[in-house]
Structure 1
Amino acid sequence: MKNYNIFFVAGIHGVGKSTICNKVAQRLNIFTSSSSQIIKGYKGQKISNSGKRVKNIDENQEALLLGLQQIEAKNILLDGHFVLMNAFGDIEKISESIFQKIRPTAIILLIDTPAEIAKRLENRDCTKYPENILIQMQDLEERRAVQIAKLVSANYLKIDLQADIEPDKTLSSFVSRNI
């Protein structure tokens, strides 16, 4: 990978990653993108998925790595996931090797209540997701975030959107200290 600072902002679908990243990027004047946008841009097509179910998870992650190589920015706020729902509806971990290649400077995990996430997903995607699935995904996402942060020696921050009244300012401050 190129020599830049990647701030990997993780969380399950609907937690608010893009919203917060866009505010922080504007405040700090740094590049932000979702992993899916980079994958789509690199592949020149839509990612194969059904709702939040993703086909070809490994292939898409390789496209992410190649797409990151094309970005001309020193600091990147990259929003993405440590786990995804595969085409069969099973929760699948993204390979550790992907994060070893990305080498994030920091990993920031956003969490929220399953009820709030479910509400956002229903408003955004017009789909109801069972709270038990959201709980399971958020639990695994958090465990993987901690595990990967240790594996790649990345700084780690967890932001609870119910407890932090200004999560974008918390993230901005954290990023500023780690640039």
Structure 2
Amino acid sequence: MLKKLCFIAGIYGVGKTTLCEKIKNKVGIEFFSASDIISQVNGEKYGKNKLVKNEKRNQEILISKIKKLKDVEKILLNGHFCIFDNNNYVIQLPIDTYSALDIDLIILLERDTKEIVRELIQRDNKKYLFQDIEQLKIKEKEIAIMVSKQLNIPLHIHNMTFDESDENTIISFLEKEGVI
């Protein structure tokens, strides 16, 4: 069976999980969170603090677990191209991760930085500096574009509106690209 994998990327608080859940409920495509897959193996929790101890090992875990999903034909996988390190510096995750995952399509979700900061305060009860979130957002987009070009993977950039148009737009794009 030929697996189709769509990587739903975006920074913390952009709405990846919410959108993936809505799409899953609407069209039945399997949805996995990279963070959840990794934390099931290594025991780290990536909730409020977002701190990662060993990003390289975590990517190996992710690749291994996705490759073992033999009975799943079509997958939405949400995750990141960049994360914060322990000092809130933006670090890029290894590009070979995305090659090894055999991604067929990248959808980058974006949102106004002020709204993301508000969401993270409300959701995680943690305050991030606007400039840190803005820098992460800029780098996430830069790396998404680079990965798309280097690996010849279609990229769709979507600005979240948090209404039904989000899921309809993404579903249309998934259909056009043959993921669903």
1:65 lines up with 2:38 in the alignment: no
For structure 2, which runs of at least 5 residues remain unmatched after alignment? none
Give the alignment's Cα RMSD to 1 decimal: 2.0
1:139 lines up with 2:133 in the alignment: no
Does the 8 Å contact 1:31/1:77 carry over to 2? yes
Deviation digits for residues 21-79 of structure 1 (CA, Å, limit 9, x no counterpart): 111111111100110111123x1523478702211011101100111123231110000
* Structure-1 separation of matches of 2:46 and 2:109: 25
Report the identity percentage.
28
Q: CA deviation at 1:163?
A: 9.8
* Structure-2 separation of matches of 1:60 and 1:97: 13
Q: CA deviation at 1:3?
A: 4.0
1:119 lines up with 2:108 in the alignment: no
For structure 1, which runs of at least 5 residues remain unmatched after alignment? none
1:20 lines up with 2:49 in the alignment: no
Q: CA deviation at 1:18?
A: 0.3
3-state SS in 1 of match to 2:152: coil
Q: CA deviation at 1:165?
A: 6.5
Does the 8 Å contact 2:8/2:79 carry over to 1? yes
1:80 lines up with 2:85 in the alignment: no
- Residues 22-171 of structure 1: pairs in structure 2 closer than 5 A: 22-41=21-40, 43=41, 45-47=43-45, 51-71=49-69, 72-162=71-161, 166-171=165-170
TM-score normalised according to structure 1 size: 0.92
Count how many residue pairs are aligned between Structure 1 and Structure 2.
177
C-alpha distance 34-163 of structure 1, shift in aligned 2 (>3 A): closer
Structure 1 ranges of 4+ moved more than 4 A: 47-50, 162-165
C-alpha distance 48-174 of structure 1, shift in aligned 2 (>3 A): closer
* Structure-2 separation of matches of 1:62 and 1:96: 12
* Structure-2 separation of matches of 1:3 and 1:120: 37
Tell me what 1:172 maps to.
171
3-state SS in 1 of match to 2:78: strand
Does the 8 Å contact 1:9/1:107 carry over to 2? yes
